[in-house]
Amino acid sequence: MHRQVQILATSFVVYSTAFALIGILLGGWIIFMGGLVFGERDAIRDGIDFIVLALALSLPGLIAGIGLRRFRRWARIVAIPYGVMHLVVFPIGTALGIYTLWVLLTPRTWPLFESPQT
């Protein structure tokens, strides 16, 4: 299960980074630039809000991925709810959520996170 945790950690980092970039580039930037072009202050504010939201939603996954790679106990606590939350983001989030639950809730994985951390 050591390898599956490493794969999951990498998946979290890649997925969270992609989620943030898509949110920033396709959502926030388009809204923000549209507001600048047309002089709409509300659209500019909405674009900034969208960018902040994309970053806020992706940050826990990035942190969990880094913690999982190092087999930190707290990373499981962050990763499981994050995986459950993304079950509704079909199809990639659903796959990540199912894989997260399978890897982190398997009893053979638990000892990997029980060793003393430095």
Helix (H) or strand (E) holding 24: none
User: What's the domain count of the chain?
Assistant: 1
In a domain, 35, yes or no: yes
- For residues 24 and 51, the answer to whether their CB atoms sit within 8 Å is yes
- For residues 62 and 12, the answer to whether their CB atoms sit within 8 Å is yes
In a domain, 116, yes or no: no
In a domain, 117, yes or no: no
Q: What tens digit of pLDDT does each residue of 88-108 get?
A: 989 999 999 999 999 999 999
For residue 48, the enclosing domain spans 2-111
In a domain, 118, yes or no: no
In a domain, 24, yes or no: yes
Q: What tens digit of pLDDT does each residue of 16-54 get?
A: 999 999 888 887 778 888 888 888 888 888 888 888 999
Which residue do the tokens 């940050």 mark? 59
